[in-house]
Every structure is written in C-alpha cells, then in structure tokens.
Amino acid sequence: MPLGKFITLEGGEGAGKSTQAKTLRDRIATLGVETLLTREPGGSPRAEAIRAVLLSGKAKRYGPIGEALLFYVARDSHLELTIRPALARGAWVVCDRFHDSTRAYQGAAGGVPIAAIDALERIVIGPTRPDLTFILDLPAEEGLKRAAARASADNQAADRFEAMSPRFHESLRREFLEIAQAEPWRCAVIDATRPAQAVADDIWATLIQRFDL
Ligand code: Z5A
C-alpha cells in the first residue's frame, strides 16, 4: 500500500503531547504534504464514544483487561476509518498517544500481562506501526502540576487516569523510557522540561534527521 508517515507522541500527563502534536502538524504541512492530526483514545466516531466512557472512569469496573480491550476496540475503529485510509492516500498522520500508552498504562502500570497486549497489537494493529514515536519525558510531578494548572484554569475535575497516585505516574515514565530503549530505531526521547518552543525545535530537528529530509 502506498504509505504516508505515521508519527506518534507519547508520555505521561501534562508532558505537552497535544501542544507539540499541533505544532508538528503545522510544520509538516509546510513540506506540502497532506497531514492529519488525530488522538487516542478517539479519532473516529465510535472511538470518541468509547473515549468518553474510558475517561469518565465508568469502565474501571471491568478491570484492567476490560479497559485494555476497550482501548483496542477504539483503536480498531480509529485504524480502519481514519489512520489506514490517510496513510494509503500518502498523508502524514500525527497521533497524540497510540499503542505505547496501552503498554504503559494498562500493561506496566495497570498489570495487564504483556503477552495479552502483544496479542492485541498483532490482531488489531498488525503492520500499521508508527514510523516514528516521540516520547516526551519529564518528571511525573512536573507533568501533574501542569495538568492540574490547566484543569483549574478550565474548571475541570481530574479524569480516571489523572486521578491515579504519583507512584503510578512515575512507573509510566519508566515504562515509556524502557519502550524507547527497546526500540531506538522507532523512538526518540525528547526532554519535555524545556519551554514549548525548544521542545518543538528538537522534535522537528529529530524528524528531519530520522526521515533523512
Ligand atoms: N490512555 C490509556 O490509559 N491507554 C491508552 O492506550 C491510551 C490512553 C491511548 C487520555 O487522556 C488518557 O487515556 C490518558 C492515558 C489514557 N491519561 N490521562 N489522563 P487525555 O487525552 O485527556 O490526556 P493526556 O493524553 O494525558 O494528555 P494531557 O494531560 O492533556 O497532556 P499533554 O497533551 O501531554 O499536554 P498539553 O495538553 O499539551 O499541555 C498540558 C499543559 O501544560 C497545558 O496547559 C499546556 O499549555 C502546558 N504546557 C505544554 N507544554 C509546556 C511546556 N513545554 N512548558 C510548560 N507548560 C507547557
């Protein structure tokens, strides 16, 4: 299939993924290629409906495996309706979170056996793997502070995952770094403690270098 590029951004709460995903999409557009900015959970009508259930905490009662399955039902729809058609058109897809988040949140931090997650990846994702993944790294405490400041400015309560313990969030950080270490050809760790502009410049320089542009 003619392929565009599939780029994902990963990391803990408040790491700046959404901010950087938008900037990256805008910069890619200057190359004159079609771009698509999307997110997980979500990115298709069915996946967005599942997102609402997952983030409300209503799916917590199904346990970690039940939640992981729901993330994968959403991902299946997102891949089928949004990501694969865009890649087939030659678009560059920028996705705010993808499968590494399931590995970190439901797997390493949530206790779902990695063999179960591997099986779901094979069945649902198959060959549609990211070409490049930016892991935005910063101490969990700093990310939670940023997320809390934003929530208080927007007058919003913490969602299902934001409300987890600081220990849970630190274990996420370790897992994302381990994923990057295990797949250095796909992943680039970005120091997300710096101002947004410096982070964006680092992401762009890394993309240029990795894609040999
Ligand atoms: N989840 C899961 O468990 N399993 C899965 O498979 C998937 C997801 C796919 C989705 O929530 C939740 O689903 C997520 C994991 C779980 N956990 N939670 N919660 P979401 O999409 O609502 O939220 P998020 O993905 O965690 O992102 P976030 O908390 O919105 O943060 P962010 O996108 O990384 O950051 P941001 O929105 O760009 O920035 C946060 C604030 O910091 C904001 O006020 C910015 O203006 C500010 N900011 C951004 N960059 C900087 C810098 N560089 N310096 C200072 N301040 C900054």
60 Cβ below 6 A of ligand 1: no
For residue 146, the SS3 value is helix
**What pLDDT is stored for residue 152 in this prediction?**
85
> 10 alpha carbon to ligand 1 midpoint, in Å?
9
101 Cβ below 6 A of ligand 1: yes
pLDDT tens sequence across 43-87: 999 999 999 999 999 999 999 999 999 999 999 999 999 999 999
Ligand 1 atom at minimal distance to the Cα of residue 20? 38
- What mean pLDDT value characterizes the chain? 95
Task: Provide φ and ψ at 71, rounded to 5°.
Answer: -60, -35
Global confidence as pTM: 0.97
**What pLDDT is stored for residue 16 in this prediction?**
97
Direct distance between the N- and C-terminal alpha carbons of the chain, in angstroms, rounded to an integer: 22
- Assign 3-class secondary structure to 14-64: CCCHHHHHHHHHHHHHCCCCCEEEEECCCCCHHHHHHHHHHHHCHHHHHHH
Q: What count of residues does the chain have?
A: 213
Ligand 1 atom at minimal distance to the Cα of residue 153? 44
> 105 alpha carbon to ligand 1 midpoint, in Å?
13
Ligand 1 atom at minimal distance to the Cα of residue 162? 19
User: Is residue 180 predicted with pLDDT exceeding 90?
Assistant: yes
In the block, residue with structure tokens 């240029």: 208
**What pLDDT is stored for residue 2 in this prediction?**
52
Tokens of 33: 């290629």
Ligand 1 atom at minimal distance to the Cα of residue 21? 38
pLDDT tens sequence across 89-139: 999 999 999 999 999 999 998 999 999 999 999 999 999 999 999 999 999
Task: Provide φ and ψ at 159, rounded to 5°.
Answer: -85, -175
In the block, residue with structure tokens 């079609």: 34
> 120 alpha carbon to ligand 1 midpoint, in Å?
24
The beta strand positions in 112-192, using DSSP E, are 132-137, 187-191
What is the best residue among 8, 9, 10, 13 to mutate for testing ligand 1's pocket, by most ligand atoms within 8 Å of CB? 13
17-47: buried (b, 16+ CB within 10 Å) or exposed (e) per residue? bebbbebbbebbeeeeeebbbbbbbbbbebb
When pLDDT is averaged across residues 195-205 and rounded to a whole number, the result is 98
**What pLDDT is stored for residue 1 in this prediction?**
54
171 Cβ below 6 A of ligand 1: no
For residue 172, the SS3 value is helix
